[in-house]
Structure 1
Amino acid sequence: MVGVAGQIVVRRSAEFTLDAEIAVEPGGVAAIMGPSGAGKSTLLAALDGSAALTGGSLAIGEQHISANGRLDRRTAGVVLLDQRPLLFPHLSVRENVAFGLRAAGASRRDARGRADEWLARVGLPGRGSDRPQNLSGGQQQRVALARALATEPRLLLLDEPLTSLDPVTASDIRTMMREQLADTATTTILVTHDAFDAASLASRLFVLEAGSIVQHGPVREVLENPATRFVAATAGLNRLVGVAAGGAWVTGAAGSPVRLRAADPAPVPDGSALVALFRPSEVALCAGEPPEGGWPTRVDRLEPSPGGARVWVRDPGLVVEITSAELARLDLAPGDIVGVAVPPEHVRLLADPVPGAARSARGFADPAPADPAPADPAPGAAPAVARRAAA
């Protein structure tokens, strides 16, 4: 039996076409991540029937859609839950959850009974007579999930459902969602910008960039082995592309190469494209001469962070995390010359999985990064590393 599978092709304009292949086993949970403009909304539109396919095919359960076809959400059993709960304000909480059941033909008594069961499952027993406006945002999202799952859909689409919640509430809802999704036979596709959501809720991750799936696999495997800078930033890692030379990672002009060594030598022959991965917090940064094994570079920009600041440097472009004390001591400003180094025990070297990725290896691999700073990684999302090296 098919959960969701297809080569989804949707032409949005002369400049953008989505062409993404996905497959999710029945009852499985998959996450979709990608930068803004990658095509995530278009993919959801194809999956919920809002957009017709212009090519390829799509199967959800026993319903098959081919080119120029549009999914019938009701007959396919597809439910979409987005950032806003979208509850009916004139109905009680119980009536909101029972709405889909009644529409499917359940009696009023059965629908109300099942609604109360679902409210208890999502942590809201005894709240059935309340109106949505009397609930908090987190409670409303619980009701929305209960309403979505009560009808036992074949496919549940979650469009960044936790974005509007505060971190504590989001964590509680995430835990509840994981428990409830595990207890259903519903196939789920989650669109998120948060690696915590992907790692907590999904078993597989699809990364969408410029309309194509650029990487997919088990969530932690993808986050530990990022194929693009977006995935690396999502996992909280710097990702630099260079070439292998003498067991190390090398990039830069002939007269001033930058070299990174790791505890384990490069897994590819000299001259092959090579990726270096390390956390921003494991980069040593100092004023004046660079630390041993380091190189001089220039500060591109700074951004305050809860623990101090994130510092973007050039040639090669990477992000460094420093503490509040270091920020005060170094007194950094854009344009300052600083020294950076990454201890070998904190560097991981991988063969570059992206064809043609070595095209910049003879020069600096990346300009000053335009990507967002690497986010805090999801639990277990990337290899454990020791504490930050002292500057």
Structure 2
Amino acid sequence: MVAVLITAVVHGPRALGATRPRRGSLPDGGPRPRAVVSPGLQADPPADRAPAPAGPAAPTPPAALAVRAVVPERGLDVDLTVAPGEVVAVLGENGAGKSTLVQVVAGLLTHGEAPGARVAVGHDDVSRLPPRRRHLAWLSQRPLLFEHLSVEDDVAFGLRSRGVPRARAREEARDALARVGAADLARRRSTDLSGGQAQRVAIARALVTDPRVLLLDEPLASLDVGVAQHVRGVLHHAQREHPRTTLLVTHDLLDVLLLADRVVVLEGGRVVEDGPVDAVLTRPRSRFAARLAGVNLLAGSVAHVAVPEPVRTVREGATAEPAGGTAGPIGAATAVAPDAESLAREVTVAVDGAGVRAHGTADEPLAVGDGAVAVFEPRAVAVHRTTPEGSPRNAYRVVVTSVEPHGPLLRVWGRAVDDDPGDPTAGATTAVGHDAPRLAADLTPRAVAELGLVPGERVWFVVKAAEVRVHPR
């Protein structure tokens, strides 16, 4: 009996003729219930079975971006809405608030620094979320790659931080590198890359996580012209392949023309211009946009509007009331409304910060006191050493500030001064302020040499009123 009891304890029911329950069954022989997995979670695979390879995930649809950026210490106060998949180029002088706007969207400023900031991505308010949870990607001038990782692992880093298995993250990283033309760089270290190669890797790293919003803070500013052209093409192709809601901070006209759908110009932390690319570049309303577009712009207010008078005609024959005119007897003069080509109004603009005026034509209704800008191209400017004859309507005394190459021509820059043209003592003693209107004229090298145009010289810039277009601002 003692031996039987010891055997039963040591060897269990098997020694007494009982059978072991089947795998997957309960001790009473019933089937083992399946594990219940909550929606959105995934059960761990059995230890003896590798997880099934996941197919490529469908790209996240672009989301709208709404920003209320208020940073009192930096003077920024901006309301901005970006449509899903739209690329908005943010332009402005240094210190206008462009990078601060990007930092607000990315969540890089504390609530104390940006107390009134509100950021919404799609229907989600992300204002209180840390940067890593906003589902954004930020690309700046510096690639900021990890020196201790291979390029492949660097690109995969974002995926790994989200819990994607290593093998799958590396596979997606290689695909992202291939899309930006950098597949051959996968095994290299970031310290072995050129500037253009590193920026392409940074683009792949930004896009591989499929961000809902892409922030580009002058990503091409530090690259050579040829390299920047290639990287710009990479960004253009990526946007066409999968449109992403994008904020693009840049100073380069090519970035605007090739990548952007819309332009927003900041000045002193405020939006001073907002519109489609073609409208802003062909009809700029801010000095920065005008310089970017390569045209002269004089901003001020309307001082005078000359409405075209009706055309006087003599009608012979039966009396009848003409369209837009008044009835009269046979042979009487009749007032006829001007045709469409003569509807352009002659407008005089008093330029802000200078005692000069600009005379031009406007296609849109303007009244005295309205804000307006006068725009004309540098090629339309004639340069004179002496006071121009004939009393031209737009003649500006300027001090030459620089002469720069501009294709086959030379661009002469000058700032307008308030010299009295009849004062023989007016010379190089009058100071020219930084806020004085800045104008440009395009001349041939021969003309520049003959006129002796060097910085500090005082000359006249003359432009015909017919070359000046006036727009409301």
Q: Does TM, scored on the shorter chain, surpass 0.5?
A: yes
Q: What residue number does 2:225 align with?
A: 167
Rounded to whole Å, the distance in 2 between the matches of 1:93 and 1:271 is 60
Query: Aligned to 1:11, which of 72, 77, 81?
Result: 72
Distance in 2 between residues matched to 1:114 and 1:192, nearest whole Å: 29
How many residue pairs get aligned? The number is: 343
Structure 1 length normalisation: TM-score?
Answer: 0.79
Contact 2:65–2:82 (8 Å) recurs in 1: yes
The residue type paired with residue 8 of structure 1 is A
Aligned CA distance change for structure 1 residues 159 and 274 (closer, same or farther; 3 Å): closer
- C-alpha deviation, 1:302, in angstroms: 2.2
Q: Does 1:288 align with 2:386?
A: yes
CA contact (8 A) 2:215 2:248 kept: yes
Q: CA deviation at 1:331?
A: 0.6
Which stretch of the first structure deviates more once superposed, 176-185 or 267-276?
A: 267-276
CA contact (8 A) 1:289 1:296 kept: no
Give the structure 2 partner of residue 329 of structure 1: 450
Aligned position for 2:212: 154
Match of 2:359 in 1: 260
CA distance in 1, matches of 2:249, 2:350: 37
1:308 aligns to 2:410 (yes or no): yes
Secondary structure, in 3 states, of the residue corresponding to 1:168? helix
Give the counterpart of 2:185 among 127, 133, 136.
127
Counterpart contact for 1:309–1:324, Cα < 8 Å: no
Does residue 61 of structure 1 match 2:152?
no
- Return the offset for 1:183: 2.0
1:26 and 1:252 map into 2 onto residues whose CA distance is 41
For the 8 Å contact 1:239–1:278, the answer to whether it is kept is yes
Alignment partner, residue 298 of structure 1: 398
The whole-number CA distance in structure 1 between the counterparts of 2:140 and 2:219 is 5
Q: Is the 8 A contact 1:291 1:340 kept in 2?
A: no
Shift in Å, 1:92: 1.6
Q: How does 1:368-379 map to 2 (within 5 A)?
A: none
Counterparts of 1:121 and 1:291, CA distance in 2: 62
Distance 1:252 1:10 in 2: 34
Q: Are the structure 2 counterparts of residues 49 and 269 from structure 1 closer, same or farther at C-alpha, using a change threshold of 3 Å?
A: closer
User: Helix, strand or coil for the counterpart of 2:230?
Assistant: helix
- Structure 2, unaligned runs of 5 or more: 1-61, 307-344, 418-436
Distance, in Å, in 2 between the alignment partners of 1:257 and 1:86 is 49
CA distance in 1, matches of 2:203, 2:115: 31
Q: Deviations over 1:133-161 (max 9, x none)?
A: 33221111111000110010112111100
Determine whether 1:74 maps to 2:147: no
Partners of 2:377 and 2:128 lie apart in 1 by: 44
1:257 Cα offset (Å) = 6.9
Q: Which amino acid aligns with 1:55?
A: G
Assess, with a 3 A threshold, how the Cα gap between structure 1 residues 199 and 25 changes in structure 2: closer, same or farther: same
Q: Distance in 1 between matches of 2:414 and 2:225?
A: 26
Q: Quote the Cα distance in structure 2 between the aligned partners of 1:259 and 1:156.
A: 42
Question: Does the CA contact (< 8 Å) of 1:284 and 1:291 recur in 2?
Answer: no
99-108 vs 291-300, which moves further: 291-300
Distance 1:144 1:281, change over 3 A: same
The answer to whether the Cα contact below 8 Å between 2:403 and 2:455 also exists between their aligned partners in 1 is no
Aligned residue among 133, 140, 144 for 2:202: 144
Q: Percent identity?
A: 39
* 1:172, distance to aligned residue in structure 2 (A): 1.4
SS at the partner of 1:230? helix
Work out which of the residue numbers 93, 97, 122 in structure 1 matches 2:151. Answer: 93
Whole-angstrom distance in 1 between the partners of 2:88 and 2:203: 17
Q: How much has 1:311 moved relative to structure 2?
A: 2.4
Counterpart-to-counterpart distance in 2, 1:159 and 1:234 = 18
Query: Could you say if the C-alpha distance between residues 344 and 265 of structure 1 is closer, same or farther in structure 2, counting changes exceeding 3 Å?
Result: farther
Letter in 1 for 2:397: T
The aligned residue for residue 250 of structure 2 is 192
Give the drift of 1:186: 3.1
Q: Does 1:248 align with 2:332?
A: no
SS at match of 2:402: strand
How far is the alpha carbon of 1:296 from its aligned partner? Answer: 5.4
1:344 Cα deviation after fit: 4.7
Distance 2:252 2:159 in 1: 32
Instruction: Report how far residue 5 of structure 1 moved.
Output: 0.5
CA-CA distance at 1:234 after TM superposition: 2.2
1:107 alignment counterpart: 165
Counterpart CA distance in 2 for 1:17 and 1:157 is: 21
What is the Cα deviation at residue 46 of structure 1? 1.0
- CA drift at 1:277: 0.6
Instruction: Report the Cα distance in structure 1 between the residues aligned to 2:150 and 2:184, rounded to whole angstroms.
Output: 12
State the partner residue of 1:84.
142
Point out the more displaced range, 56-65 or 122-131: 56-65
Name the SS for the 1:36 alignment partner.
coil
- Cα-Cα RMSD: 2.6
CA 1:198/1:70 → structure 2, altered by over 3 Å: closer, same or farther?
A: farther
Supply the distance in 2 between the matched residues of 1:245 and 1:26 (Cα, whole angstroms).
42
CA distance in 1, matches of 2:163, 2:346: 66
Q: String of CA shifts for 1:49-90, please: whole Å, max 9, x gaps.
A: 11134115221234315xxx5432222112211001111122
Asked whether the equivalents of residues 61 and 76 of structure 1 are also in contact (C-alpha less than 8 Å), the reply is no
Which ranges of structure 1 fall in alignment gaps of 5 or more residues? 354-391
Shift in alpha-carbon separation, 1:335–1:258, aligned structure 2, 3 A: farther
Instruction: Find the aligned partners of 1:34 and 1:181 in 2 and give their Cα distance.
Output: 24
Query: Is 1:79–1:157's contact at 8 Å kept on the other side of the alignment?
Result: yes
User: Where does 1:10-29 land on structure 2 (aligned, <5 Å)?
Assistant: 10-12=71-73, 16-29=74-87
Q: How does 1:194-233 map to 2 (within 5 A)?
A: 194-233=252-291
Superposition deviation, residue 309 in structure 1: 4.1
1:117 aligns with 2:238: no
- Secondary structure of 1:19's match? strand
